[in-house]
């Protein structure tokens, strides 16, 4: 018997699940079809070694929108976050180290070790960033206005947007424009003199980016990473109890509680179109499911270039999608550890350093050189490394006395020159451990297991084209009214009944739930 639903969601990533949960709450019959055997996409917890429950992809939460948490009652379904404190720990080759804490006064004391002037500046910097983040944040749950604007109605939408800048002074408006266009290094140079302070803050500007700290546009990524919060405290990042999969599972449970059907191990092969309107999907196993609405949480290139027939799409739209850049430069390693890494710069374990995001990034030049390698198709010989140990907050993730460590690394280009990731993977993982060893001499002796996910592996495992963690570069030419492509930023795609609800839509990637939330709102408006 053919199955009938009002809406089909392709992909059970957290955004697809958010769309499904909102539609189910509006009493729509909705089904989520997920290719893998578990939901969550990049936000999953997987037992990759017996007794170790690992956040194999995303590892920290902050961006998840409070409105989504409230509307979908995620806390009732198990979502709980421990705010990370200290936020950052950067050990330096000269034996010094810098902490950044939740407590601003403690952070200022730390910064003063490097520069008294920077310590005085820091509160003003934080206030400015917070103010800019608040304005930018208002746009996260907003549907971008029509582009290019047509009539008076469209112009009104732009005016409404301009209204969100009302509380800003002239200087702050200039700062807002600059942050969307500047490099992270230029932005930070205007505030700070200490290399150690600048580089610790600059890391947020290059995580997931296709660019170095001196590439224009990276200042926005820095702002993007300041837009969330934990338990109502803005700017904080935290570890999710049960790993990142607990976020996705909470959303899935919320959706199920309102009647959504979620089917795993169900890869979609084709989006079915008849006379310019969607009519459902065909699964890889040959089954067909019908619905007048299909929302794809899969990245734009995969959605339109693999799941659709060329003849069903407008040639100009297709051309623009082919130009949508979605090659990533991030690599993730997950380790099972028998103990904790001991830092040359700060003896003792456990210590506060193990609760922080631990950076290996001695200088802006170091990161820029790491990017130089990637520009020419080589993984960085000396990469920027971020390490986190979730078991410091949730020991139940590993057997007693053991730890999990996540390593997130820039830059590992998806396209290599003269080699493949299948050839380089293990040798490069050895190199990464060598770099860490310079700061933590005991690291190799405590590694029990390791998993290395190159951009190619991220593509294969999570189904993200090019291994781009945001479904597509978050650069000015692929943001807001231009995401995924000009004219289609309002979640409706060029075939009637077809929507995009994943990170390839505004406002982009991260475990945020915003594209999924906004897409559901637009679907409900259309019916």
Ligand X SMILES: Cc1cc2nc3c(=O)[nH]c(=O)nc-3n(C[C@H](O)[C@H](O)[C@H](O)COP(=O)(O)OP(=O)(O)OC[C@H]3O[C@@H](n4cnc5c(N)ncnc54)[C@H](O)[C@@H]3O)c2cc1C
Strands 88-91 and 357-360: parallel
* CB 87, CB 236: distance < 8 Å: yes
Measuring CA to CA, which residue among 58, 43, 394 is closest to residue 250? 43
Smallest gap from residue 311 Cβ to ligand X (A): 20
What gap in Å lies between CA 179 and CA 171, rounded to an integer?
A: 12
The whole-angstrom distance between residue 151's C-alpha and the CA centroid of its chain comes to 35
Q: Measured from the CB atom, is 362 or 463 closer to ligand X?
A: 463
Estimate the crossing angle of helix 14-25 against helix 514-526, to 10 degrees.
40
Q: Measured from the CB atom, is 183 or 326 closer to ligand X?
A: 326
Q: Measured from the CB atom, is 57 or 145 closer to ligand X?
A: 57
Smallest gap from residue 213 Cβ to ligand X (A): 19
Smallest gap from residue 331 Cβ to ligand X (A): 8
What gap in Å lies between CA 301 and CA 164, rounded to an integer?
A: 32
Residue ranges that bind ligand X, judged by CB under 6 A:
10-16, 33-36, 41-43, 57-60, 63, 267-268, 297-298, 302, 332, 408, 458, 462-464, 469-471, 502-503, 509-511
Q: Measured from the CB atom, is 463 or 507 closer to ligand X?
A: 463
Q: Measured from the CB atom, is 201 or 511 closer to ligand X?
A: 511
Peptide bond into 13 cis (omega under 30): no
Q: What is the DSSP string of 446-512?
A: HEEEEEEE-HHHHHHHH--TTB-TTSS--SGGGSGGGSSSTT--SSB-SSBTEEE-STTSTT-SSS-
Q: Measured from the CB atom, is 385 or 458 closer to ligand X?
A: 458
What gap in Å lies between CA 516 and CA 141, rounded to an integer?
A: 10
Q: What are phi and psi of 346, to 5 degrees?
A: -155, 105
What gap in Å lies between CA 466 and CA 464, rounded to an integer?
A: 6
Measuring CA to CA, which residue among 441, 447, 446, 466 is closest to residue 456? 466
- ∠ CA 331-94-183, nearest 5°, is 50
Measuring CA to CA, which residue among 510, 516, 464, 490 is closest to residue 9? 516
Smallest gap from residue 60 Cβ to ligand X (A): 4
| Helix (H) or strand (E) segment spanning residue 184 | helix 184-189
Smallest gap from residue 64 Cβ to ligand X (A): 8
Smallest gap from residue 380 Cβ to ligand X (A): 16
Measuring CA to CA, which residue among 401, 404, 407, 458 is closest to residue 430? 407
What gap in Å lies between CA 45 and CA 58, rounded to an integer?
A: 9
The whole-angstrom distance between residue 336's C-alpha and the CA centroid of its chain comes to 23
Q: Measured from the CB atom, is 212 or 508 closer to ligand X?
A: 508
Residue found by looking up tokens 């550890």 in the block? 337
CA dihedral 5, 9, 10, 16 (to 10 degrees): -160
What gap in Å lies between CA 234 and CA 56, rounded to an integer?
A: 26
Q: Measured from the CB atom, is 14 or 214 closer to ligand X?
A: 14
Smallest gap from residue 388 Cβ to ligand X (A): 8
Smallest gap from residue 15 Cβ to ligand X (A): 3
Smallest gap from residue 411 Cβ to ligand X (A): 14
Handedness of CA 408, 405, 129, 79 (dihedral sign): positive
Smallest gap from residue 294 Cβ to ligand X (A): 11
Q: Measured from the CB atom, is 214 or 403 closer to ligand X?
A: 403
Smallest gap from residue 164 Cβ to ligand X (A): 23
Q: Measured from the CB atom, is 56 or 353 closer to ligand X?
A: 56
- DSSP 8-state assignment for residue 78: T
Q: Measured from the CB atom, is 111 or 268 closer to ligand X?
A: 268
Smallest gap from residue 502 Cβ to ligand X (A): 3
* CB 8, CB 33: distance < 8 Å: yes
Tokens for 436, please give them.
């860490």
Q: Measured from the CB atom, is 113 or 256 closer to ligand X?
A: 256
């Amino acid at each position: 018997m053919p199955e009938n639903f009002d809406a089909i969601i392709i992909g059970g990533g957290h955004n697809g699940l958010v769309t499904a949960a909102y539609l189910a709450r509006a009493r729509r019959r909705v089904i989520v079809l997920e290719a893998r055997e578990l939901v969550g996409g990049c936000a999953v917890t997987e037992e990759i070694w017996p007794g170790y429950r690992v956040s194999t992809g995303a590892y920290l939460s902050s961006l998840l929108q409070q409105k989504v948490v409230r509307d979908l009652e995620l806390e009732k379904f198990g979502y709980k976050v421990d705010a990370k404190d200290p936020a950052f720990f950067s050990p330096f080759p000269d034996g010094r180290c810098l902490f950044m804490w939740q407590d601003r006064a403690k952070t200022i004391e730390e910064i003063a070790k490097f520069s008294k002037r920077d310590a005085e500046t820091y509160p003003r910097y934080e206030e400015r960033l917070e103010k800019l983040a608040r304005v930018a944040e208002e746009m996260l749950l907003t549907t971008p206005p029509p582009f290019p604007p047509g009539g008076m109605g469209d112009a009104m939408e732009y005016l409404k947007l301009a209204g969100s800048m009302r509380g800003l002074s002239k200087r702050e408006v200039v700062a807002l424009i600059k942050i969307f266009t500047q490099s992270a290094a230029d932005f930070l140079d205007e505030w700070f003199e200490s290399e150690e302070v600048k580089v610790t803050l600059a890391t947020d500007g290059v995580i997931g980016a296709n660019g170095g700290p001196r590439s224009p546009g990276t200042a926005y990524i820095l702002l993007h990473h300041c837009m969330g919060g934990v338990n109502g405290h803005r700017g904080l990042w935290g570890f999710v109890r049960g790993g990142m999969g607990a976020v996705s599972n909470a959303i899935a449970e919320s959706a199920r509680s309102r009647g959504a059907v979620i089917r795993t191990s169900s890869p979609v092969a084709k989006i079915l179109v008849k006379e310019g309107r969607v009519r459902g999907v065909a699964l890889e196993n040959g089954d067909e499911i019908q619905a007048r609405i299909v929302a794809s949480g899969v990245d734009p290139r995969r959605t339109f270039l693999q799941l659709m027939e060329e003849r069903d799409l407008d040639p100009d739209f297709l051309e623009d999608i082919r130009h949508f850049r979605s090659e990533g430069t991030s690599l993730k390693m997950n380790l099972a550890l028998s103990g904790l890494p001991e830092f040359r710069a700060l003896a003792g374990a456990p210590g506060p350093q193990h609760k922080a995001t631990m950076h290996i990034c001695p200088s802006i030049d170091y990161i820029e050189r790491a990017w130089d390698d990637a520009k020419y198709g080589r993984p960085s010989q000396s990469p920027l490394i971020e390490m986190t140990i979730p078991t410091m907050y949730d020991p139940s993730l590993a057997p007693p006395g053991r730890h999990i460590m996540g390593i997130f690394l820039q830059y590992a280009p998806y396209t290599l020159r003269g080699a493949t990731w299948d050839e380089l993977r293990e040798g490069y993982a050895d190199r990464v451990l060598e770099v860490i060893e310079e700061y933590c001499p005991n690291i190799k002796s405590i590694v029990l297991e390791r998993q290395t996910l190159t951009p190619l592996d991220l593509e294969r495992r999570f189904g993200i084209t090019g291994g781009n963690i945001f479904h597509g570069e978050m650069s000015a030419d692929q943001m807001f009214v231009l995401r995924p492509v000009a004219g289609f930023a309002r979640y409706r795609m060029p075939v009637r009944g077809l929507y995009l609800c994943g990170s390839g839509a505004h406002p982009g990637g991260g475990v945020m739930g915003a594209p999924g939330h906004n897409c559901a709102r637009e679907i409900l408006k259309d019916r």
